[in-house]
Amino acid sequence: MKQPITGYLIDEEGDWVARLACGHRQHVRHHPPFINRPWVVTEEGRAAHLGALLECPRCDAFEWPDHIVEQAGRDRR
């Protein structure tokens, strides 16, 4: 399922990660020749891709975003 990019962050290894509207995150690395995303290395390039759609495999797998947790002991009737 395609989701729009809403922002970016840098992970602990220094790679760029896109925040998606669904709440998931996805790496947007530029490591030629295997991954070619030159837009990610500049602030202008990243800004130009806000709203761009990325395929979200975690949505396809019906996974919850990491920041959403189930509350234990809740009555589900």
- The per-residue pLDDT for range 1-36, each reduced to its tens digit, is 999 999 999 999 999 999 999 999 999 998 888 889
Residue 57 host element (H or E): helix 57-60
Does the pTM of the predicted model rise above 0.85? no
pLDDT at 73: 58
Mean pLDDT of the chain: 89
Encoded tokens for 39: 């837009």
CB atoms within 10 A of CB 46: 19
